[in-house]
Amino acid sequence: MIIGTAGHVDHGKTALVRALTGVDTDRLKEEKARGISIDLGFAYMPAPDGSVIGFVDVPGHERFIHNMLAGASGIDCALLVVAADDGIMPQTVEHLSILDLLGVERGLVVLTKVDLTPSAERAQTVAEITRLLARTSLAGAPIIEVSAIRGDGLEELRGRLFAIARAVAPQAMGGRFRLAVDRSFTLAGAGTIVTGTVLSGMVTVGDRVAVSPSGLEARVRSIHAQNRPAERGCSGERCALNLVGDGVTKERIARGDVVLDPGLHAPTDRIDVRLRVLPTEQKPIGQWLPTRFHHGAAECGARIVLLSDTPLAPGTEGWVQLVLDRPVAAASGDRFVLRDTSAQRTIGGGRLVDLRAPTRKRRTQERLSKLEAMAQVDPAHSLADLVGGLSGFVDLSGFARDRALTAVEVETIADRLGLVRFVAHGAAFGLSAEGWAAFRRALNAKLASFHAENPDLQGIARERLRLAFELRLPAPVFLAALQTLAALGKIALDGAWVRLAEHQARLAAEHEALWVRIRPLLGGKERFRPPRVRDVAGLLRIPEANVRRVLKLASRLGLVDEIAHDHFFLRRTVAEIVGIMQGLAPESPDGQFTAAQLRDRLDNGRKVAIQILEFFDRHGVTLRRGDLRRINRHRLDLFGPPERVAAGGAALQHDGRETSPVGRPDFKSGKGREPVLGGFDPHSLPPPQRKAR
């Protein structure tokens, strides 16, 4: 158990800790000279059951409240110290308010210097303290009269502390490791040491950790837990970690940093919170009010953005967004405190709710409903409300990271809620069973309707389909959902096109009949120099417009590619040319080749070879430098190798990866129907202008 002292300056906090533990927590030269605590002090007391109770002694002077806040975070029990001869003083009230805002519910009030105060005066002070506690989380806390000099009441106090320690349930080992750093120093023969309270999880010797928000990587060489050498440090313990690694020095790690599981390193500077304003404030909280933000041992500037139409009055609470001066490492549910910029008073505090707060649409009813769901302390209840809300889905990986939960813990909750899960870009997402069923019904209906209206198209553009849904999933999540259904055989993904599994794009009967006549003219020995639209029309004695229309439709189906205006090549021929260019590259030491080399290999004219290369340049298959080209290996799958093309000229199915936009309608929005030169639709950027030769 960790106990934190609180109270006004010179009320005997340090003397009380020394009387209980035998340790003088005033370790600084200036502290001893001035006789007051300036920074945090630490001491330990063994308990009868073999455990160790840790003490964090905090300064009481108003100038050092920021140090008091650094020590008060993460304590299990508070010792509110009040001098009997002084009674309740300004820092007594402020420290008590801070303990209340931090949610400290276990505590004792110690009335010190009773040997200097008459009994009647002590009784009056006790009555005042009882009235003061009544409005806080420490309401009803026992009040023990103590004299640190004579030893009066110390045994009773120890007994009370041991009883609380026995009653405090051991903190769960669940969650991922986080330690709030309050000290960083160098120890001769060991190196860099950081100390602090373990907020969640567990760390063992040899673990890899990160220091956030800087992202510095380190390894744990050794551990002291509750002032004893240990192989591991657990949640609720004060630990000293010996860290080693490239760049790990005491100067690189400061008070306010958090040593944590590397997977939790995701600092934030914009947080939505539930703010409670203290009744002692003189006026309401207005928009963009500058404050000092205290979280754990960290402190930085922050501005308040109200998420309601009216200012927050003293004694009330509401939703606000905090815009921080610098990023901090935090977890959803952590407590925070706000003080004024002059460090003279505490304004309020509360819980952190959403660490990834938006900059736009932050005051909508949908957004506020989501915040209410996220504010639930129980992660299972919060997750259930999130997937049942308007968003309909939840980022499980982000949810686990921001709450410092392990993957197993989130999986257990997701199983209990019956969520349907899929992975996108390495992150797990979940939908409720009802939401998943509704999504599938809507998807089937939209695809069936599209196929009925466009039987000659392979499918609908993925982005156009996503935007047609009322439930607007992010693009990576939407793709992951489609890939899940494709794996089940419910739909098929052809590049960026989506279709029902049973749908096969077909030309209309009259177009199919004409395509059967045109296709042989584009293949065979003349496949590398096929006739143009005008020539095909002359050979078949039909209007040019009819030939052009059929070839445009065939381009949509992926049967042909328009290399240049009115010059169509079979898709399998295009894939064959890609293979030929791959064969040319090794013939040159630098992997480059010329148009003349391709012309000779294809046995066609220079003009056609140039047109072919410019087509590939536009699509990134070749990279041009002057008159030389080289293959871009990252784009070789745009047209597929020759073996991926069926003998009849129809392209084989793709695996759902992005493929060439050639021959498709608008591959971003799905708008438009008539591709232009190079297969791009009228809404796309035109091909780059060619320089005159």
Q: Can you give the pLDDT at residue 472?
A: 81
Least confident of 282-291, 337-346, 520-529, 670-679: 670-679
Longest dimension (CA), the chain: 121
Half-sphere exposure (CA, 13 Å, Cβ side) for 419? 27
Q: Can you give the pLDDT at residue 170?
A: 61
* pLDDT (tens digit per residue) in 447-503: 999 998 888 788 899 999 999 998 888 888 899 999 999 999 999 998 778 999 998
In DSSP terms, 561 is beta-bridged to 569
Alpha carbon of 243 to those of 132, 247, 675: distances in Å? Answer: 44, 11, 61
Least confident of 212-216, 238-242, 333-337, 430-434: 430-434
What secondary structure does DSSP assign to 505-527, as a single string?
A: ----HHHHHHHHHHHHHHSGGGT
Checking if the pLDDT of 665 tops 70, the result is no
- In the chain, residues under CATH classification 3.40.50.300 are 2-167
**What angle, 0 to 180 degrees and rounded to 10, lies between the N-to-C axes of helices 119-133 and 90-101?**
30
As a whole number, mean pLDDT of residues 226-233 equals 94
Checking if the pLDDT of 172 tops 70, the result is no
What secondary structure does DSSP assign to 525-589, as a single string?
A: GGTTS---HHHHHHHHTS-HHHHHHHHHHHHHTTSEEEEETTEEEEHHHHHHHHHHHHHHGGGST
As a whole number, mean pLDDT of residues 119-142 equals 94
* pLDDT (tens digit per residue) in 546-555: 999 999 988 8
Q: CB 476: neighbour CB atoms within 10 A?
A: 14
Topology annotation, domain 367-430: Arc Repressor Mutant, subunit A (1.10.10)
- pLDDT class for 684, splitting at 50, 70, 90? very low
Checking if the pLDDT of 666 tops 50, the result is no
Query: Which amino acid is it at 263?
Result: G
Spatial contact of 239 and 233, defined as CB atoms under 8 Å apart: yes
Name the helix (H) or strand (E) containing 431: strand 427-431
Separation of alpha carbons 100 and 347, rounded Å: 13
- In the chain, residues under CATH classification 1.10.10.10 are 434-500
pTM of this structure: 0.76
Angle subtended at Cα 522 by Cα 582 and Cα 657, rounded to the nearest 5 degrees: 50
Topology annotation, domain 178-264: Elongation Factor Tu (Ef-tu); domain 3 (2.40.30)
* pLDDT (tens digit per residue) in 28-86: 556 455 555 667 888 999 999 888 999 998 886 566 677 777 777 778 999 999 999 99
Supply 507's token pair: 């030309």
CB contact set of 429 (below 8 Å; sequence gap of 6+): 393, 394, 395, 396, 397, 421, 422, 423, 477, 480
Residues of the chain above pLDDT 90, percent: 69
Checking if the pLDDT of 621 tops 80, the result is yes
Checking if the pLDDT of 645 tops 50, the result is no
Angle subtended at Cα 543 by Cα 537 and Cα 544, rounded to the nearest 5 degrees: 60
Q: Can you give the pLDDT at residue 470?
A: 85
Strands 2-7 and 77-83: parallel
As a whole number, mean pLDDT of residues 298-324 equals 96
Topology annotation, domain 2-167: Rossmann fold (3.40.50)
Checking if the pLDDT of 612 tops 70, the result is yes
Supply 459's token pair: 């499918």
* pLDDT (tens digit per residue) in 82-112: 999 999 999 999 999 999 999 999 999 999 9
* pLDDT (tens digit per residue) in 245-277: 999 999 999 999 999 999 999 999 999 999 999
- Give backbone dihedrals phi and psi of 535, rounded to 5 degrees, phi first: -70, -40
- In the chain, residues under CATH classification 2.40.30.10 are 178-264, 268-366
268-366 is classed in which CATH architecture?
Answer: Beta Barrel (2.40)
Q: Can you give the pLDDT at residue 679?
A: 37
Residues of the chain above pLDDT 70, percent: 89
CATH class label, 434-500: mainly alpha
Query: Which amino acid is it at 151?
Result: G
How high is the mean pLDDT of the chain?
87
Separation of alpha carbons 665 and 101, rounded Å: 58
* pLDDT (tens digit per residue) in 368-412: 999 999 999 999 999 999 998 766 789 999 999 999 999 999 999
Q: Can you give the pLDDT at residue 647?
A: 30
125 SS3 class: helix
Q: Can you give the pLDDT at residue 33?
A: 58
Checking if the pLDDT of 686 tops 60, the result is no
Radius of gyration of the CA atoms of the chain, in A? 35
49 SS3 class: coil
Separation of alpha carbons 352 and 348, rounded Å: 13
- Give backbone dihedrals phi and psi of 277, rounded to 5 degrees, phi first: -90, 130
**What angle, 0 to 180 degrees and rounded to 10, lies between the N-to-C axes of helices 365-374 and 379-387?**
150
Alpha carbon of 652 to those of 494, 501, 642, 644: distances in Å? Answer: 9, 14, 11, 6
Q: Can you give the pLDDT at residue 506?
A: 81
Spatial contact of 287 and 306, defined as CB atoms under 8 Å apart: yes
